[in-house]
């Protein structure tokens, strides 16, 4: 039984590390004009926070007007729900 607990914690930490890497990669891609892949920022946020909480946080950060104007909800809707974090 000890190994199942270790496996669960290993998967959780691996998932969190992957999410942080994707967030940093997305920010880097957003800042460099020749690098596509800034959408990885959203994938990383999804993994850490989940779909609803990510939408709420982004709406607070950039404002409802820009959230709707940039069609971020549509972008977030394109990301598969399999990676969505469920607490």
Domain definitions of the chain by residue range = 2-83
Instruction: Note the pTM of the prediction, 2 decimals.
Output: 0.59
Residue 79 has pLDDT above 70, yes or no: no
What totals of helices (H) and strands (E) does the chain contain, helices first? Answer: 5, 0
State pLDDT tens for residues 23-53.
Answer: 888 888 888 876 777 777 777 887 888 777 8
Quote the mean pLDDT of the chain.
Answer: 77
């Amino acid at each position: 039984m000890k190994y199942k607990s270790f496996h669960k914690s290993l998967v959780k930490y691996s998932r969190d590390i992957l999410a942080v890497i994707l967030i940093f990669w997305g920010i880097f891609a957003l800042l460099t004009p020749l690098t596509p892949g800034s959408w990885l920022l959203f994938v990383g946020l999804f993994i850490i926070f989940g779909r609803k909480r990510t939408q709420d946080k982004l709406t607070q950060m950039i404002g409802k007007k820009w959230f709707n104007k940039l069609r971020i909800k549509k972008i977030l809707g394109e990301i598969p729900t399999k990676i969505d974090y469920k607490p």
